[in-house]
Amino acid sequence: MTDEMNLTIEPERPRVLVVDDSEDIQALIRFRLRGEDISLYQAFDAEDALKQSRELHPDLLLLDLNLPGQSGLELIHRLKDEHELSNIPVIFLTGTDDITTKVQAFDAGAVDYITKPFDGVELSARVRAALRTKRYLDLLATRAQLDGLTGLWNRAYFDDRLRDECAVSQRHKRPVSLIMLDIDHFKSLNDRFGHPFGDLVLQRVAQTLLATTRRTEIACRYGGEEFAVILRETDLEGAMKTAGRIRVAIELLEFKNEAEPVKVTASLGASSSEVFSGVFEPDDLMASADQALYKAKHGGRNQVCRA
């Protein structure tokens, strides 16, 4: 057995982002949580916290309500406004027992609160409880949103996510792009070699999508032999490059039916929010990408076309 085969993969430790402008509080929290199996990160204001949240995707925020510049309440609202950050649980830290403030924090989406000065045992217990709940909810949500055959996000998740990303794109004036992909002559592959072979093709194409896209790009099985990739903060040129990379990777896949090599290719269409001069709906972006896919399929297949 090789050394590589003996390697064991350690589960990643939960990431906890502490957002507080006080060096003393940051140091105290780090001391109190030193025995917990977590990775701690620090932010001292709302902008830094938002930036780190986008980069780290923390499993929990310990958030001071009284931050310089932008308050903790305002930060919670901004987190809930972004799909990928909206499910991060927040425990807020407060030096007041004011009921109105606590109600506002809970209404904004906080899951718990701790009053300063806090007890170390209580802090650890509340952090463990919040992380445990998030882990269970993540498992339940993921199972409901995955395609059973390919392991990609399913159509229901795609519809929800595209709607959210289009809204964020228009609200913050950032581009969003969409790639639609169709496996060429898939029905004939099924008819000729059987459905188990067709399932294998779908699975290998799904693996290729995951291998050729970035973490921030959302690969989904749209239905049948059709796939979709949502590209956040990506213009049409960037989407075309990604689509080209996917097309080549699929063409290089090797399939065999018994001893017979089988060629598998795909046609792709790309569109972007850039093609619309004003307000657009998710269906508009879908229709545009679909039209580009139609051009690719009827222009000879195994190619990428743009809106």
Model confidence pLDDT, tens digit, residues 183-194: 999 999 999 999
Tell me the per-residue pLDDT of 84-116, one tens digit each, with 9 for 90 and over. Answer: 788 899 998 887 777 888 888 888 888 998 888
- For the segment 212-216, the average pLDDT, to the nearest whole number, is 89
225 is catalytic: yes
Q: How confident is the model at residue 11 (pLDDT cuts 50, 70, 90)?
A: low
Q: Has residue 120 got a pLDDT over 50?
A: yes
Chain CA centroid to CA 76, Å = 19
pLDDT for the residue numbered 86? 84
Q: Has residue 281 got a pLDDT over 90?
A: yes
Q: Has residue 9 got a pLDDT over 70?
A: no
Q: Determine which of 16-20, 31-35, 107-111 has the lowest per-residue pLDDT on average.
A: 107-111
- For the segment 25-39, the average pLDDT, to the nearest whole number, is 92
Q: Identify whether 117 is preceded by a cis peptide bond (ω within 30 of 0).
A: yes
pLDDT for the residue numbered 6? 37
pLDDT for the residue numbered 103? 86
Q: Has residue 68 got a pLDDT over 70?
A: yes
pLDDT for the residue numbered 216? 85
Cβ atoms of 43 and 49 closer than 8 Å: yes
- For residue 188, is it left (φ>0), alpha (ψ between -120 and 50) or beta? alpha
d(CA 157, CA 82): 15
- For the segment 237-263, the average pLDDT, to the nearest whole number, is 94
Share of the chain above pLDDT 90, in %: 69
d(CA 245, CA 232): 17
d(CA 226, CA 211): 17
- Which residue has 């139609």 as its token pair? 294
d(CA 71, CA 64): 8
Q: Has residue 12 got a pLDDT over 80?
A: no
210 membership: H or E segment, kind and range: helix 195-212
Q: Has residue 39 got a pLDDT over 70?
A: yes
- Domains in the chain, start-ordered, CATH in brackets? 3-145 (3.40.50.2300), 155-306 (3.30.70.270)
Tell me the per-residue pLDDT of 222-232, one tens digit each, with 9 for 90 and over. Answer: 999 999 999 99
Selected catalytic residue, list 36, 122, 217, 225: 225
Q: How confident is the model at residue 180 (pLDDT cuts 50, 70, 90)?
A: very high
How high does pLDDT run on average in the chain? 90
Question: Nearest Cα to 89, choosing from 61, 113, 126?
Answer: 61
Q: Has residue 5 got a pLDDT over 80?
A: no
* CA terminus-to-terminus distance, the chain: 52
Q: Which residue has the higher pLDDT, 163 or 143?
A: 163
User: Which segments of 48-186 are extended strands (E)?
Assistant: 60-64, 90-94, 112-115, 176-183
pLDDT for the residue numbered 10? 46
